[in-house]
Structure 1
Amino acid sequence: MKKLYSNKWVILSLVLPGLFLFVFAILAPICLSVYYGFTNYSGMGSYQFVGWENYKNLFHDAAFGTSLRNSLLLAIGFIFIQHPLAMIVAAVLDKLGGKGENFFRCVYFIPNVISVAVIAYLWKFIYNPDFGLLNNIIKAFGGKGDINWFNYDTAIWAVLIVLIWHGFGWGMLIYYTGIKNIDPVLYEAAAIDGATQIQIFFKITLPQMKPVIQVNVTMAVISALKQMETVYLLTNGGPGNSTQFAANYLYQQAFKAYKYGYGNAIGVVFIIICLLVTVILNKIFEEREAKIKVKEVA
């Protein structure tokens, strides 16, 4: 077997399928997207090379700026609302044990199992100004139950609530898995020393969860940038681009406005932003980890 795997032709035959898949399914589309971003291609027929024109227009495009602002708001919501709650729920579930732990773990993950289309239409009914659940609850407490949640001023907040709620299960499950992988001996030692549950959470759970937090935060920021399906089904970026997100705007420009070249320019900028965000977050976590190590040594 060792002789077989040391044969260069055998190694090449094992590597080539994956290499071809990477080139034709990932690398080639990215290269084509970069190329079309420098053209005025409409998706059909002939086209011309326009250089940096699409990118110049993009940086003066108010709708694209709004989409980036909304993505930033969603990323902040993920990091400062969804993830702290997900981590606390995961820690509580870990301590709960028994059938209750399994039951609530499934309950929190149910929204991620349900189709995005079902989720979007469910929330449309909840937000409905005439017979929606939310307005009926407000009426029950004596308030005005005729609020239009998808007007220009409140639509983005309504969409953000749905997106933060919908992604809660994934974040909770990742944190839950990370907590389960922490050595129980550490908790036993802390309990013997008389540490409270809050002290155990901040002194053991959080430090041990740093790699999981790094992955989860990076995924959350990228997820905020590439939101499309839920937004498309809820508001399609409206009213007046107030709930526009980059991925949804890309779809509208490339496949509805027939500005395929412009849509590809948006895609290229989107990829660059994702790469920069990933690198910056990795650097931030590396620097924090280095400072903590220095303090520990001191």
Structure 2
Amino acid sequence: MKRLYSNKLVIFSLVIPGILVFVFAILAPIALSVYYGFTDYSGMGKATFIGMDNYKQLMMDQVFHKSLLNSLFLAIGFIVIQHPIAIIVAAVLDKLQGKAEGIFRCIYFIPNVISVAVIAYLWKFVYNPDFGLLNNFLKMFGYTGKINWFSTDLAIWSVLIVLIWHGFGWGMLIYYTGIKNIDPVLYEAASIDGANGKTTFLQITLPLMKPVIQINVTMAIISALKQMETVYLLTNGGPGNSTQFAANYLYKQAFKAFKYGYGNSIGIVFIIICLIVTVCLNKLFADKKEVA
């Protein structure tokens, strides 16, 4: 076996498929996006090189700025609302043990296995101002009006609730897995020393979950930037671009407005933002000893 793996031809044959997939599935599309971002290509016909015009227009595009602000708002919602609840639920599930642990873990993860289209139409019925579940629930407390949950003022909050609910299972499962990997001996030692549940959670669980929190926060921010399907099916960025997100705006520019070059320039800016966010989070979560 050692002689086999020392053979350069064998090594090459094992490595080349992965390299080809990486080149043609990742590098080539990015390179094409960079190229088309400097053109006025409409998706058909000939592409004309226009230099930085797309990026200059992008810097002045108020709708794009709004989409980034909405993505930032969603990322904050994920980090401030979804993740604290997810990590607490994961810690509680870890303490349940037995069948109850498995049952509740499956229940919390159900939204993630349901089709995005089903989720969107389900929540459209919930938010419906005439017969929606939410307005009918308010009627039980004496409210007789009809709230349009997709109005200009409320639409972004309505979308935020749906996205937090839909993605909750993934965040909870990642935190749950991280807690399960913590050595139980540490909890036993803390219990012997007289530490209560709150102290154990704050002094043992959270510090040891730091790498998991970093991964989850990074994924949350990138997920907020690339939200498209749910937003498209719920509001399509409306009303008046109040729920517009970067990925949805990219789709509308490239495939609805036939500004393929402009859409690719949005994609390149999106990639740059994701890289900057990842680098900043790596530095933020880096240990002080590593930084020194």
The residue that corresponds to 2:217 in the other structure is 217
| In 2, Cα distance between equivalents of 1:239 and 1:85 | 30
| TM-score, normalised with respect to structure 2 | 0.98
CA distance in 1, matches of 2:289, 2:18: 39
Q: State the partner residue of 1:48.
A: 48
Structure 2 portions without partners, runs of 5+: none
Amino acid in the other structure paired with 1:205: T
Residue correspondence of structure 1 range 83-122 to structure 2 within 5 A: 83-122=83-122
- The residue that corresponds to 1:259 in the other structure is 259
SS in 1 for 2:60: coil
The 8 Å contact of residues 149 and 158 in structure 1, kept in 2 or not, is answered as: yes
Distance 1:204 1:291 in 2: 19
- Which residue of structure 2 aligns with residue 177 of structure 1? 177
CA distance in 2, matches of 1:280, 1:144: 49
Structure 1 Cα separation of the partners of residues 17 and 37 of structure 2: 29
Per-residue Cα deviation, 1:120-159 (whole angstroms, up to 9, x for no partner)? 0000000000000000011110113410010111101100
Matches of 2:152 and 2:213 in 1, distance apart? 34
TM-score (norm 1): 0.96
Aligned-pair distance for 1:61? 0.4
Which whole-Å CA distance do the structure 2 matches of 1:206 and 1:145 have between them?
44
Q: Which residue of 1 aligns with 2:137?
A: 137
Partner of 2:288: 290
| C-alpha displacement of 1:293 | 10
Q: Distance in 1 between matches of 2:182 and 2:46?
A: 59
Q: 1:200: which partner in 2?
A: 200
Tell me, in whole angstroms, the C-alpha distance in 2 between the residues paired with 1:80 and 1:292.
27
Whether contact under 8 Å (1:86, 1:171) holds in the other structure is yes
Deviations 1:198-234 (A, max 9, x none): 0000011001101100111111110010000000000
Alpha-carbon offset, residue 99 of structure 1:
1.3
C-alpha contact 1:136 1:145 (8 A) present in aligned 2: no
Number of aligned residues: 292
How far the C-alpha of 1:73 sits from its partner, in A, is: 0.4
Runs of 4+ aligned residues of structure 1 deviating over 6 Å after TM superposition are: 291-294
Partner residue in 1 for 2:166: 166
Q: How far apart are the structure 2 equivalents of 1:28 and 1:46?
A: 20
Aligned CA RMSD, in angstroms, stands at 1.2
Residue correspondence of structure 1 range 227-242 to structure 2 within 5 A: 227-242=227-242
CA distance in 2, matches of 1:19, 1:97: 43
Percent identity between matched residues is 77
Q: Which residue of 1 aligns with 2:25?
A: 25
Distance 1:111 1:98 in 2: 23
